[in-house]
Structure 1
Amino acid sequence: MLAFARNFWANAETAWRLKLAEARHPIALAAAGHCALPDDLAVRIANRFTTDREEEMFRLPGRA
């Protein structure tokens, strides 16, 4: 998944930088020989990842 993400961001159009949450939706696990996730599950995982990242960015130092 990380390889897919790195490739995506290395080649992504500039407009995707403004749509980070939406850009995380196309999860492509099938590329590595894994079963692809159902679209609704992939979107839920991507949205949760986005929420976690945003919470981490705005967490005050020394606060858990």
Structure 2
Amino acid sequence: MKIGSPPVALVETWIQLVRTENIDMEVRNRASKMLKEKIGDTVDILAYVKKHNLKIK
């Protein structure tokens, strides 16, 4: 996980944008890019979700 993790609310927003199918693909790609840049790879993102007890719908 990257140093200085982003706020939980921001990560929740990025995850929601990535998972919403009826949103422009450019928006989804940008949200995915931000998750990877600010948190790390998929394993790091899942660790962040677990650590902060986020609910993925």
TM-score by length of 1: 0.26
Ranked by relative contact order (alpha carbons within 8 Å, sequence separation 6 or more), the top structure is 2
Determine which structure has more spread, i.e. the larger CA radius of gyration: 1
